[in-house]
Chain A
Amino acid sequence: GAGVSQSPRYKVAKRGQDVALRCDPISGHVSLFWYQQALGQGPEFLTYFQNEAQLDKSGLPSDRFFAERPEGSVSTLKIQRTQQEDSAVYLCASSFDRDSYNSPLHFGNGTRLTVT
């Protein structure tokens, strides 16, 4: 079946612009995670949704970052007034169960954001 889909695949933004990154998780998956991956580094956790509820946003680096999942399926990560340090690959992952050790995360291929 279809995996996790992210769009756009690449995004170039001028410093100060707002961007919106979309994630379509696997249908029926309860949990949804956003990660940020800088070049040469491992992914870093940003935020977690269980259905439409955002239960953990401890990894969001500033109040310029905002995520939503209003109907418990598609999620959008919004970055306001982008800065050069926001340049990274943004990864979305979903899993079937909540809190389940037997439910692996399925990752999309990410959106590469470049802020010029």
Chain B
Amino acid sequence: DAKTTQPNSMESNEEEPVHLPCNHSTISGTDYIHWYRQLPSQGPEYVIHGLTSNVNNRMASLAIAEDRKSSTLILHRATLRDAAVYYCILRDVGGTSYGKLTFGQGTILTVHP
């Protein structure tokens, strides 16, 4: 599986934007970029995904580099509820991967009031 690299941790203040980076230099053409987050004592939660174009939804925005070797998850106004571990995952839906997710260590986001 193609690997991703994320900072171990980041900090933000409440109501400020947060940009969470992810490098995936070995991404293949069939890999979709997915983001999940995991709040304390909960299972992971889907945030957003994309292939080539930037994506927006009610939770966040995803900015994908033109060469697809990196991406950034953008939380427009962080709240205390956004404190979580954020995982950037390349999801291969081809072959016998069955669309399973391969998690790395993720980025621990701390939000200060």
**Chain A: residues with CB nearer than 8 A to chain B?**
4, 31, 33, 35, 41-45, 48, 50, 55-56, 91, 93, 95, 98-101, 103-110
Contacts and interface: CB of A to CB of B under 8 A. Distances in A.
Contacts of B49: 101, 104
* A-B interface, 5 closest residue pairs, ranked by CB to CB distance from nearest: A107-B43, A42-B103, A104-B46, A101-B93, A101-B32
B68 interface: no
A43 B100 contact: no
Interface string B30-62: 001010100001111110010100000000000
A42 B32 contact: no
B101 A105 contact: yes
14 contacts: A31-B98, A35-B103, A42-B103, A42-B105, A43-B44, A44-B103, A55-B96, A56-B96, A91-B44, A93-B44, A98-B99, A103-B99, A105-B46, A107-B44
Interface residues of B, number: 25
Interface string B81-113: 000010100010100101111111110000000
Interface of B: 32, 34, 36, 41-46, 49, 51, 85, 87, 91, 93, 96, 98-106
Given A100-B99, A103-B99, 17 more contacts: A31-B98, A31-B99, A43-B44, A45-B100, A55-B98, A56-B100, A91-B43, A91-B44, A93-B43, A99-B93, A99-B98, A99-B99, A100-B93, A101-B99, A104-B46, A105-B36, A105-B46
